[in-house]
């Protein structure tokens, strides 16, 4: 009997490894190996054509990042966009989920509009918003003209960052399903008890919904930080009327990932570009650790985390 149970367990283990093996093989050859090989190349003078004469340059590529004015500028702009975009998209996404959960009139239209960017390619989203932002005949300026406001050059130097933030805010619905799943998990008995005690709707949201949703907010904030620090295609499509990824966007939207991409594919500075990307990876890890550390002060779990 014991031998039968052991054989059954072994069979289950073999089935498990057989099922995950396709994913593991893909991960091994298409993720882990390129990742580690990229790390190795970041310490070399690789230009894309000198694989036979690679030379170890130590940390020179990494030190060069901090001496590169364009890299420092693009990093500063990326952090600024991240600081604005993360709370903006988090608040909009959460408010939209609240509306959907409370069945506000017309909420289906709102949720469809905000969830649309999730299923559309980023390039398409950028092109759509470039049409909307067009100064002459653009939808946004037509709306402004209808209410008596002068047209704005949304794609000009002074407003291009605002246009980028509006475009990014449109993608706030990306975390909608996760927010809704969290809201559905909150017991209705808590709201009924609060109502009996005289709590107003706003008080119920602030004292029940928000605290119990902090684990979901925490997850979405982490994901938003990671995606914001890697923004790449949207600034290019907005600033230049082209789908050429080597095009240079207007200076206010010249972000870190764009600078790294150009170093690699426009100037063949593969080693340097890879060093930039690894520094970005380290920055994402450090910011994630900070948010994880801060979570013990503001994230509330229904079970004791030990």
Domain range annotation of the chain: 41-296
pLDDT-based confidence at 103, cuts 50/70/90? Answer: low
pLDDT-based confidence at 263, cuts 50/70/90? Answer: very high
Q: What is the pLDDT of residue 218?
A: 95
Cβ atoms of residues 226 and 257 within 8 Å: no
The answer on pLDDT for 306 being more than 60 is no
pLDDT-based confidence at 6, cuts 50/70/90? Answer: low
Q: Return the top range by mean pLDDT from 120-129, 169-178, 244-253, 269-278.
A: 269-278
Task: Give the mean model confidence (pLDDT) for residues 219-234.
Answer: 93
The answer on pLDDT for 1 being more than 60 is no
Sign of CA dihedral 62, 65, 67, 72: negative
Q: Rounded to an integer, what distance in angstroms lies between the CA atom of residue 60 and that of residue 63?
A: 5
Q: What is the pLDDT of residue 201?
A: 87
109 or 275, higher pLDDT = 275
pLDDT-based confidence at 115, cuts 50/70/90? Answer: confident
The answer on pLDDT for 165 being more than 80 is yes
Closest Cα partner for 45 from 259, 210, 274?
A: 274
Q: Rounded to an integer, what distance in angstroms lies between the CA atom of residue 112 and that of residue 301?
A: 31
Q: Rounded to an integer, what distance in angstroms lies between the CA atom of residue 56 and that of residue 39?
A: 12
CATH T-level topology, domain 41-296 = MetI-like fold (1.10.3720)
pLDDT-based confidence at 238, cuts 50/70/90? Answer: confident
Task: Give the mean model confidence (pLDDT) for residues 90-109.
Answer: 81
Q: Which of 3-12, 72-81, 227-236, 294-303 is the least confident region?
A: 3-12
- Collapsing DSSP to helix, strand or coil, 121 comes out as coil
pLDDT-based confidence at 119, cuts 50/70/90? Answer: confident
The answer on pLDDT for 3 being more than 60 is no
Q: What is the pLDDT of residue 244?
A: 81
Q: What is the pLDDT of residue 61?
A: 96
Buried b (16+ CB within 10 A) or exposed e, 65-92: beebeebeebbebbbebbebbbebbbeb
pLDDT-based confidence at 160, cuts 50/70/90? Answer: very high
Q: Rounded to an integer, what distance in angstroms lies between the CA atom of residue 142 and that of residue 162?
A: 18
Q: What is the pLDDT of residue 303?
A: 64
Pull the structure tokens for residue 97: 């989920």
pLDDT-based confidence at 43, cuts 50/70/90? Answer: very high
**Considering the entire predicted model, what is its pTM?**
0.86
For the chain, percent of residues with pLDDT exceeding 90: 57
The answer on pLDDT for 186 being more than 70 is yes
Q: What is the pLDDT of residue 123?
A: 85
pLDDT-based confidence at 2, cuts 50/70/90? Answer: low
Q: CB atoms < 10 A from the CB of 198, how many?
A: 7
Cβ atoms of residues 96 and 110 within 8 Å: yes
Mean pLDDT across the chain, nearest whole number? 89
């Amino acid at each position: 009997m014991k031998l039968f149970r052991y054989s059954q367990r072994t069979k289950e283990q073999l089935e498990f490894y057989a099922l995950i093996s396709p994913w593991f093989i893909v991960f091994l050859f298409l993720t882990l190996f390129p990742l580690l090989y990229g790390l190795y190349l970041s310490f070399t003078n690789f230009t894309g054509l000198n694989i036979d004469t690679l030379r170890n340059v130590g940390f020179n590529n990494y030190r060069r990042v901090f001496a590169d004015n364009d890299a420092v500028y693009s990093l500063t702009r990326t952090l600024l966009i991240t600081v604005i975009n993360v709370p903006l998209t988090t608040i909009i996404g959460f408010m939209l989920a609240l509306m959907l959960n409370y069945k506000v009139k017309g909420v289906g239209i709102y949720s469809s509009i905000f969830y649309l960017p999730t299923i559309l390619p980023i390039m398409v989203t950028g092109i759509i918003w470039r049409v909307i932002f067009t100064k002459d005949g653009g939808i946004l300026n037509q709306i402004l003209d209808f209410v008596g406001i002068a047209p704005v050059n949304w794609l000009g130097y002074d407003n291009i960052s605002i246009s980028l933030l509006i475009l990014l805010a449109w993608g706030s619905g990306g975390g909608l399903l996760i927010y809704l799943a969290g809201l559905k998990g909150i017991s209705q008995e808590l709201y009924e008890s609060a109502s009996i005690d005289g709590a107003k709707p706003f008080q119920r949201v602030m004292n029940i919904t928000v605290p119990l949703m902090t684990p979901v907010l925490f997850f979405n904030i982490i994901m938003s930080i990671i995606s914001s620090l890697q923004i790449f295609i949207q600034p290019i499509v907005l600033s230049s009327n082209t789908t050429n990824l080597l095009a240079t966007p207007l200076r206010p939207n010249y972000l870190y990932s764009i600078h790294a991409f150009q170093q690699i594919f426009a100037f063949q500075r593969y080693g340097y570009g890879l060093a930039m990307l690894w520094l970005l990876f380290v920055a994402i890890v450090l910011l994630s650790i900070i948010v994880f550390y801060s979570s013990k002060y503001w994230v509330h779990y229904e079970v004791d985390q030990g």
